Structures are given as structure tokens and as C-alpha cells.
Amino acid sequence: MIYTCTMNPAIDLFTEFDSFEPHVVNRSIFEDYQANGKTINISFMLKKMGIDSVATGFLGGFTGMYINDELKRTGIATDFVMISGITRINTFIKAGAKEYKAVNRGPEISSAAQAQLIDKISKLTFNDLLFVSGSLPRGVDDSILKKISRLSAKNGFKLILDVSAKGLLDCLEDRPYLIKPSDEELAAWLAVDPESFNNEANLMEAAETLLKKGAQRILVSRGEKGTMYADGEKVLFTTAPRGEVVNTACAGDTLLGTFVGSLISNKSLEDALVYATAAGSSTAFTAGLSDLKDVPELMKQIKLTTHMKGAKES
């Protein structure tokens, strides 16, 4: 079974304005409320691909109930730890060419609630796959990631990590199945200038560093520059399709979910990366998550480049 773990989920409010000015009442021309959180988005995208998953993590209050109900309404099973706080609400504002993101910190998670989540994860076996993505809520430190990675190594389930916390580096010795940083997160972990990754050779070298530390695979989201995948045997680059960017908040989640979903559906590595790159862009071109309908057309714009054993193939 596939499990998706979001420790700091949210209701995301997407709004659009003709203009957005301080000290006056700004009236929206569009609004949309969505159950959100990085791996919650992955569960939604997997469901759109016909793949079932179980969503877990922490939920609380009326906002948490809304998220739980939305997941169940779309046919996604849930197994959350319920907390006493209120799950956060984030706001994303589009006004002309400008985009504003107001992300709240969320509730504090007790040590008892954390222990409940670890207990749930401890029951996973070699037949399971677990996504852990997103920010850590208040009261939770990086050590929880290490606890999860140790369980993965002990129990044999596949672990996919998409977290910005530097504590991810401590998890690499447990050989996670896949990690998905953005190019900026990767630069921060390695204390290098993110602009240096405009040179693909530098990005490949950075990925190799993490592979040598234990990651089995790495998928790097690069925004308008596309994506990179590396696994020690080969490195793949894709360009990104063109379109009007509406909201970038969930593009990386869509990329990761559809990439892994495509591999589960027995697509080749190359086809999975092209499809996922198009799907991630499709989400960036809409207010919420992609419905995947425009993905085939977007795929036609994408160029794939393969590097293998020192040779480059197009």
C-alpha cells in the first residue's frame, strides 16, 4: 500500500484580484478552497491516475475535519492522528503579474501525538511505500525524520522524502528510495550558490554527492528550467513547457506524485519524467491541482536529455 504523510497540512485559499493594494479593501474576482498539504496533494494526484493511497499525519479542529472529509469524498482513505489544535489555513493571492503567499505556522504537536504517528508508521512493511513531505509543525524537530528513516531501513518499506529540513541529510545513510529537493533546497543543503546550478555539470555533481551519502534516487525540481533525475546509473534532464504561471504552490507535489505514480504504472523512467514534468507545469498553470487533461499537449514541448557513463544522448 502507498501511504502519504503530511505533518503540517492546511486548507489553501487561492484568490485572484485585479490589483492588491495596502490599507484598502481588496475584493477578489476568484476564490477556491482546497484541502492541501504536500503529500495530501500527492494522494489527490495518485487518485487522478487511478492509484489508491492512505493519507496520514496530523489534523485538528474544523479545518482538519474539512481536509479529512475532502479526502474521503474523493475516495482516499485516511488514518490521521487527531490533535487538539486547529489545522492551519494558507492564502495564495494572484494580482496581475504578482503572486503573494501567506503561509501560517500551524498548531503545536505534542510528543504524545508524535508517538502515535511513529507507531502507525512502525507497522509498515516491505510491501509498502511512504511519502513524507512538507514542513515540520511546531513541536516537531528533525529527529522525527530520522526515526522514520530508521523504520524504513528496519522494516523494508520504500521511503520518499520531500522536505527542506537539513535533517534529511542524516536520513541518507538509511538509503531512502527517493528524495526530491528543489534546486534551491539542494544548494542550501550543500552550502553552494543556487545560481551555480545553471551549469548542469554542477547540478549533476551535487546530486552525486547525495547519492554517495545513501540516497538511491534524486529528483530535482528546477521551476521554469525543468527537472533533473539521477540514480547513479544515469542522469535525465527535461526542459519545462511554456505557459502562463498562475500558482506555483503545488507544482512540485504534482511532479513527485505523478513521477512515482507513472513508475508504479510501469512507465519507463524517461516517459515517467516527461509526464511528471508536464503534470507539474499543468498545476503551475492553474489555480489548484492539474486535472491532467492538458498533459499530453504539454509533453510535446518537453525535451529529454540523458547522461549515462559519461556519454550524452538526446
The span from the CA of 112 to the CA of 115, in Å, is 5
* Kind of pairing between the strands at 304-308 and 234-238: antiparallel
Q: State the angle between helix axes of 143-155 and 111-121 in degrees (0 to 180), rounded to the nearest 10.
A: 20
Q: How many CB atoms lie within 10 A of CB 172?
A: 19
DSSP character string of 172-223: GGG--SEE--BHHHHHHHHT--GGGGGSHHHHHHHHHHHHHHT-S-EEEE-G
To the query of whether residue 253 is one of the catalytic residues in this protein, the response is yes
Position 222, amino acid: R
Q: Where are the alpha helices (DSSP H) in the chain?
A: 38-48, 61-73, 111-121, 143-155, 168-171, 183-190, 200-213, 251-264, 269-284, 295-299
Place of cell 540523458: 306
The span from the CA of 298 to the CA of 242, in Å, is 8
Place of cell 534516487: 217
SS3 52: coil
Instruction: Tell me which of 253, 271, 291, 294 is the catalytic residue.
Output: 253
DSSP state of 278: H
Which residues are catalytic, by number?
253
